[in-house]
């Protein structure tokens, strides 16, 4: 029996023809970008060396997070292509700048050797890459339509998961599946009114209907409590040639990056996992290191001025180190410019509030403008934090809220961030009530469920706007 998960966030691989199109869809963008790089490099020098082939492989992986979609309009795919081109170009320039300033004396990293394209060929690459990507995705659309074959599918059960899968199949113009309807034993008054499929009969009618109408696939969406009924249905469907898919009902709960994986040949379902695994984890960490390194270099004069000002204004250290929970709930030290007369880091810590008497005059300004958090870019370089992620709370606050907010500790499935989705949605700074903390946690979990490079970029840009507008409760 093949297993398909109901939640659209779940990552698995299906090697049907439709799955093969999906696999090609995932790689067509980076493949075209790498091909474009090879073409331009060959046109420039008239030959290809191993270093140039290696460069095209790097380009492939840099473009991988930016997926072009066959069910998306051409202009949207073009925007994705242009955005990814800008991002990759920025990363390449940043890497080149870093190499020139750290390893310039190495002969193989001399400045002439770091000029990948001449000025003329840079513009050719910038134009050819999105053109080839658009040709690639449009060609894949044509192939998908030519290989499109209707496969009749039915559903056993009419719950939320079944409805969602049926809707997704019906809306996708490149789906092979044609939804015929569903079977249900419940009375009509217990069947959801908004179900978008015709009722085909009772459970006892499934096997005969599948045989009579040559149904290709059957999706079973029943509660785990109906185990005996499911086994009976599966047994009856063995007399058909239909592929049977099981949709577990565990998805009535919120999932975090659920995926199907094999462990020593055994199929297991991960329902709560970090989104930063494999290539996604590498891209996230690489971008953190590059951008934090650049930002620290640019703001080093500001850091120096603030440090001197803090030292001149009051006694105490320039940097305040407080214990926070990091990824996987491990305790880490987070850096901030000292903004208070006290150094609270015990079992009980009072949250900062408006006109807090503990603030120094300079500290109040630093907290309002979030300048006190600039040293956390050092934490990012160290690997303790990320630029974007759930904001770290003091250990004392974690221990307090984990007892009253369900799922609170799930926010620690990623490195804590300097900024996050909660902070750009009005939950920045003090959380005066448990309800406010609950909303912050909801946004943190939503971030983990929906993470992408696009979302990180959106949060960073919106953070700048929020800080300039002085939104939130940052005191």
Q: What is the pLDDT of residues 357-373, one digit of tens each?
A: 677 888 888 888 888 88
Question: pTM of the full predicted structure?
Answer: 0.64
Contact of 159 with 185, CB cutoff 8 Å: no
pLDDT-derived band at 129, boundaries 50, 70, 90: very high
- Residues 203 and 297 occupy one common structural domain: no
Is there a single domain that holds both residue 237 and residue 252?
A: yes
Q: Please determine, for residue 185, whether its predicted confidence score (pLDDT) is greater than 90.
A: no
Q: What confidence tens digit (pLDDT) does each residue in 370-402 have?
A: 888 899 999 999 999 999 999 988 888 888 888
The residue with greater pLDDT, 193 or 83, is 83
Q: Write down the pLDDT at residue 205.
A: 92
Q: Based on the domain organization, do 159 and 140 belong to the same domain?
A: no
Instruction: Tell me if 408 sits within 8 A of 441, measured CB to CB.
Output: yes
Q: Quick one: pLDDT at residue 245?
A: 87
Residue 371 tokens read as 């300048």
1 assigned to some structural domain: no
Residue 71 inside a domain? The answer is yes
| Lowest-confidence segment of 116-125, 220-229, 390-399 by average pLDDT | 116-125
Q: How confident is the model at residue 31 (pLDDT cuts 50, 70, 90)?
A: very high
Number of domains in the chain: 3
> Is it the case that residue 58 has pLDDT exceeding 70?
yes
Q: Is residue 348 scored above 60 in pLDDT?
A: no
What Rg value do the Cα atoms of the chain yield, rounded? 27
- In terms of Cα–Cα distance, which of 450, 323, 431 is closest to 388? 450
Q: Does residue 258 fall inside a structural domain?
A: yes
Domain-ending residue, one of 244, 270, 296:
270
362 and 461 in a common domain: yes
| pLDDT in the model for residue 454 | 79
Mean pLDDT of the chain: 80
Q: 103 and 215 share a domain?
A: no
Residue pair 289/462 in contact (Cβ under 8 Å)? The answer is no
Are 119 and 181 within one domain? Answer: no
Find the mean pLDDT for residues 50-78: 83
End-to-end, the C-alpha distance of the chain in Å comes to 57
Query: What are 303-345's pLDDT values in tens digits?
Result: 999 999 988 888 888 888 888 888 888 888 999 988 876 665 5
CATH of the domain at 157: 3.40.50.720
The residue from 270, 296, 315 where one domain ends is 270
Q: What is the domain range of residue 128?
A: 17-146
The reply to whether 213 falls in a domain is yes
Domain boundary among 250, 270, 290: 270
Distance of alpha carbon 359 from alpha carbon 389, whole angstroms: 26
- Domain assignment present for residue 220? The answer is yes
- For residue 18, is pLDDT > 60? no
* pLDDT, tens digit (0-9, with 9 covering 90-100), for 264-275: 666 676 777 788
Query: Do residues 344 and 431 share a domain?
Result: yes
The listed range with the strongest mean pLDDT (37-51, 227-241, 380-394) is: 380-394
What's the confidence (pLDDT) of residue 376?
A: 94
Residues 214 and 351 placed together within one structural domain of the fold: no
Question: Does residue 306 sit within a domain?
Answer: yes
Angle between helices 74-102 and 50-63 (to 10 degrees): 130
Query: What band does 406 get if pLDDT is binned at 50, 70 and 90?
Result: confident
Whether residue 233 sits in one domain with residue 252:
yes
Q: Is the pLDDT of residue 99 over 60?
A: no
Residue 321 in domain: yes
- The reply to whether 205 and 323 lie within a common domain is no
Same domain, 341 and 419: yes
Give yes or no for residue 78 having a pLDDT over 80.
Answer: yes
Mean pLDDT calculated for residue range 215-237: 86
What is the pLDDT at residue 383?
A: 92
pLDDT higher than threshold 80 for residue 346: no
Please indicate, yes or no, whether residues 142 and 172 belong to a single structural domain of this protein. Answer: no
CA–CA dist 244, 102 (Å, integer): 58
Does 345 reside within a domain? yes
pLDDT per residue as tens digits for the range 107-120: 444 444 445 666 77
Q: What proportion of the chain, given as a percentage, has pLDDT over 90?
A: 20
């Amino acid at each position: 029996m093949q297993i398909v998960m109901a939640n659209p966030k779940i990552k698995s691989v299906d090697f049907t023809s439709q799955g093969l199109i999906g696999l090609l869809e995932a790689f067509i963008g980076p493949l075209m970008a790498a091909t474009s790089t090879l073409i331009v490099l060959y046109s420039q020098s008239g030959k290809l060396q191993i270093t140039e082939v290696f460069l095209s492989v790097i380009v492939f992986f840099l473009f991988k997070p930016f997926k072009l979609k066959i069910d998306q309009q051409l202009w949207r795919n073009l925007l994705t292509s242009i955005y990814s081109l800008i991002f990759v170009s920025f990363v390449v320039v940043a890497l080149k700048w870093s190499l020139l300033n750290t390893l310039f004396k190495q002969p193989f990293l001399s400045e002439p050797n770091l000029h990948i394209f001449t000025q003329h060929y840079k513009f050719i690459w910038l134009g050819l890459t999105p053109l080839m990507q658009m040709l690639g995705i449009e060609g894949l659309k044509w192939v998908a339509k030519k290989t499109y074959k209707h496969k009749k599918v039915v559903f056993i059960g009419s719950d939320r998961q079944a409805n969602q899968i049926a809707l997704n199949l019906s809306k996708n113009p490149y789906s092979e599946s044609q939804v015929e309807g569903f079977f249900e034993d419940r009375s009509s008054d217990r069947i959801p009114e908004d179900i978008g499929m015709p009722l085909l009969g009772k459970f006892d009618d499934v096997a005969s209907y599948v045989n009579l109408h040559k149904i290709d696939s059957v999706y079973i969406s029943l509660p785990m409590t109906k185990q005996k009924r499911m086994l009976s249905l599966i047994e009856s469907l063995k007399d058909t040639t239909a592929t049977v898919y099981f949709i577990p009902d565990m998805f009535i709960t919120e999932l975090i990056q659920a995926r199907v994986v094999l462990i020593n040949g055994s199929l297991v379902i991960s329902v709560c996992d970090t989104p930063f695994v494999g290539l996604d984890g590498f891209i996230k960490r690489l971008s953190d290191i590059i951008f934090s390194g650049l930002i620290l270099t640019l703001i080093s004069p500001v850091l120096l001025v603030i440090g001197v000002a803090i030292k001149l204004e009051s006694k105490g250290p320039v940097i305040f180190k407080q214990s926070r929970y990091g990824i996987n709930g491990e305790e880490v030290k987070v850096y901030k410019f000292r903004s208070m007369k006290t150094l609270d880091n015990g079992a009980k810590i009072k949250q900062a509030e408006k006109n807090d008497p503990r603030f120094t005059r300079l500290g109040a300004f630093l907290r309002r403008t979030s300048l006190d958090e600039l040293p956390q870019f050092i934490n990012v370089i160290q690997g303790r934090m990320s630029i974007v992620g759930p904001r770290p709370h003091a250990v004392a606050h974690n221990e307090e809220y984990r007892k009253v907010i369900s799922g609170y500790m799930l926010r620690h499935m990623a490195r804590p961030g300097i900024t996050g989705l909660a902070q750009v949605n009005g939950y920045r700074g003090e959380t005066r009530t448990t309800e406010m903390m609950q909303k912050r946690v909801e946004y943190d979990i939503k971030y983990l469920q929906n993470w992408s490079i696009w979302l990180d970029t959106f949060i960073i840009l919106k953070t700048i706007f929020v800080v300039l507008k002085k939104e939130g409760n940052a005191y």
